[in-house]
Structure 1
Amino acid sequence: MKRVIVDYKKLTNEILSMLVEKYPDGYGDDDIISFKNAKNETVDALEVRAEDAVYLVKVSTRLASTMENFEDEEDYSNDDISSDDVEVPEDNDSED
Structure 2
Amino acid sequence: MKRVIVDYKKLTNEILSLLVEKYPDGYGDDDIIRFKNANNETVEALEVRTDDAIYLVKVSTRLANTMENYDEDEDFDGNDDISSDSLEIPDESDDEE
Rg: which structure is higher?
A: 1
TM-score, structure 2 as length reference: 0.73
Provide the residue aligned with 1:12 in structure 2.
12
Provide the residue aligned with 1:38 in structure 2.
38
Please give the root-mean-square deviation of Cα atoms over the aligned residues, in Å: 1.3
CA distance in 1, matches of 2:17, 2:44: 20
Q: How many residues align?
A: 74
CA distance in 2, matches of 1:68, 1:12: 16
The one of the two structures with greater contact order (alpha-carbon pairs below 8 A, sep at least 6) is: 2
1:9 partner amino acid: K
Where in structure 2 are there 5+ consecutive unaligned residues?
A: 75-97
Deviating above 2 A after TM superposition, structure 1's stretches of 4 or more consecutive aligned residues are none
Tell me the CA shift for residue 12 of structure 1. Answer: 0.1
Provide the residue aligned with 1:49 in structure 2.
49
Provide the residue aligned with 1:68 in structure 2.
68
SS at match of 2:25: coil
Residue-by-residue CA offset, 1:1-48 (whole Å, 9 max, x unaligned): 111000111100000000000000000000000001111110000000
Where in structure 1 are there 5+ consecutive unaligned residues?
A: 79-96
SS at match of 1:16: helix
CA distance in 2, matches of 1:42, 1:66: 22
Q: Percent identity?
A: 84
